[in-house]
A and B are shown apart, each in its own frame.
Chain A
Amino acid sequence: EDQVTQSPEALRLQEGESSSLNCSYTVSGLRGLFWYRQDPGKGPEFLFTLYSAGEEKEKERLKATLTKKESFLHITAPKPEDSATYLCAVQETGRRALTFGSGTRLQVQP
């Protein structure tokens, strides 16, 4: 059974204080690993898809990386508007369903 574990559960940063969120996964065959952002009361917003170990993708202050066992979401010089829950999900080869982790609640204080 696919498993996705995200850490930490919650993270509080000062504005400008860079950090990383972790997503470790167990899947029989990885089709893709997805990062989403979710604001309170809203649906998940797509950020990145990673397909193979060593792959990296960037968007503004966010960079996602992938190894064979985990993915990191690096946040460089965060701003208060980056405060949200960040969700990691895996898609197993041959299936379309996403298996989500429980998320990391990020709070960036000014």
Chain B
Amino acid sequence: NAGVMQNPRHLVRRRGQEARLRCSPMKGHSHVYWYRQLPEEGLKFMVYLQKENIIDESGMPKERFSAEFPKEGPSILRIQQVVRGDSAAYFCASSPLPGAYNEQFFGPGTRLTVL
């Protein structure tokens, strides 16, 4: 399966704990995007990364959230000291090198529940 992979698919955390969400892009893709889908709301952009670089983090909350895409390994979205309002589905998407075509292909998502 050459699709975008995310793990875990479901994650339960208690308030104050840390959540780490992982994303492996499609084979050959070097750009990763993170989106959040809150209950009963649409998908919202969070951050756009290339290998070892954050390109656009205009949608990231100012505190507790961080993202990385190291030279080796998956992209990580990290949420520190989670609160109930962080409960949502987090989707990762990937695309090939930017060019004339900009399709983003989404993974199955990680559903985070904060107790």
In whole angstroms, how far apart are the Cα atoms of A48 and B107 in the complex?
Answer: 17
Which residues of chain A come closer than 8 Å to B84, judged between CB atoms? none
Number of interface residues of A (CB under 8 A): 22
* Alpha-carbon distance between A34 and B104 when the two chains are bound, in angstroms: 9
Write out the residue numbers on chain A whose beta carbons fall within 8 Å of the beta carbon of B55: 96
Q: Which of B40-48, B62-70, B73-81 is found at the contact surface with chain A?
A: B40-48
Contact A96:B98 (CB < 8 A) given known A44-B43, A87-B43: yes
Q: Mark A56-95, 1 if CB is under 8 A from B, else 0.
A: 0000000000000000000000000000000101010001
Which residue of the partner chain A has the closest CB to B101?
A49
What are 15 A-B pairs at a CB distance below 8 A?
A: A42-B108, A44-B43, A46-B104, A46-B105, A49-B101, A87-B42, A87-B43, A95-B56, A96-B55, A96-B56, A96-B98, A97-B56, A98-B104, A101-B42, A102-B42
